[in-house]
Amino acid sequence: MIEARNLEKRFGKQLVFKDVNFKINDGEFISLVGHNGSGKTTLVKILMGLEKKSGGDILIDKKQTIGYVPQFRNIDLDYPLDIEQFVRLNLKWKLSPEKRRKDNELVNEILEKTHLTELKHRPLGLASGGEKQKAYLAQSLLNDPKILILDESTASLDVEVKMQLMDLVQELNKRFKLTVIFITHDYELSKKYTKRALFFENKTIKPISINDVSEDMFELGGR
């Protein structure tokens, strides 16, 4: 479980959010919703330990590895690695043949889970937007995370591909009790896949039921 108690974050004098209280249960699939600059990525960075909180508490089991799928990657047409090799970047160096064999099994299993087995030898630079997102997802699954954070991973995809990716995430969420935190500006996806949202507004964050989210909460700009 993840719990925030009176969490506060400032950059210098500038307040990002304060009085933040919420719980995210194990195996939950939750949306983070709010306009750009409202602090969604900042909260995620605090969860991952990449950013320090300014006050309050954030309780999270240190043993729970977090898989983070960032929004942007620098992958151009000439990017040389194929999908399997890209995924394997997240493996540690192992000397023992036994451990290396296990790693290979793990990689195959994850490629299978993410429906990438048949595409594994395709250079990532030549893969479609949806295939790239699946590869990013697969790479972050290598650490066997208990929490998966998707940072606007569906933003630049066609509707159909978006759905495929989200179906896949939902499958992982259900089969492996993976907690999924989904940062999004997509009202439809949020409604379809998640039951609750953390709503970022007026320098604070409130947990709300997905039935209470409205389309204007997903506006990109500030209000």
Partner 1 sequence: MFGYEFMREAFIASTFIAITAGIVGVFVVSRNMSFLSHTLSEIGFAGASFGVLIGISPLAGMILFTMVSSVAVGSLSTESSRREASISTISSLFIGLGILFLSLSSQSSSYATNILFGSIVGISAKEVQQLMILAVVVIVIIMVFYKSLAFDSFDHIGARAAGLKTRFLSVAFLITLALSVSIGSQIVGSMLVFVLLTLPGATARYLVHSVPKLIMVSVGLSLAGVWLGLYLAFVTNWPVTFFISSFEVIVYFLGLSYKNWKLSH
User: Which residues of the chain form contacts with partner 1 (CB under 8 A)?
Assistant: 48-50, 68-70, 72-74, 78, 80-82, 85-86, 89-93, 121, 123, 126, 136, 139-140, 143
Question: Who contacts 188 (Cβ-Cβ below 8 Å, separation ≥6)?
Answer: none
CB burial of residue 33 (10 Å; 0-12, 13-18, 19+)? buried
**Which residue, 79 or 187, is less far from partner 1 as judged by CB?**
79
Q: Tell me, what DSSP letter sits at residue 82?
A: B
Q: How far is the CB of 216 from partner 1 (least distance, A)?
A: 31
Residue placing its CB nearer to partner 1 in the complex, 4 or 142: 142
For the CA atoms of 138, 141, 147, 153, the dihedral, rounded to the nearest 10 degrees, stands at -20
* Nearest-approach distance from CB 167 to partner 1, in angstroms: 23
Q: Which is nearer to partner 1, 91 or 155 (CB)?
A: 91
Strands (E), the chain: 2-11, 14-24, 29-33, 55-60, 66-69, 147-151, 179-183, 196-201, 204-209
Shortest Å distance, C-beta 102 to partner 1? 16
| Closer CB to partner 1, 40 or 196, in the complex | 40
CB nearer to partner 1: pick between 21 and 143? 143
**Least distance in angstroms from the C-beta of 75 to partner 1:** 8
Handedness of CA 87, 148, 38, 51 (dihedral sign): negative
- For residue 123, the one-letter residue type is P
CB of 166 to partner 1, least distance (A): 20
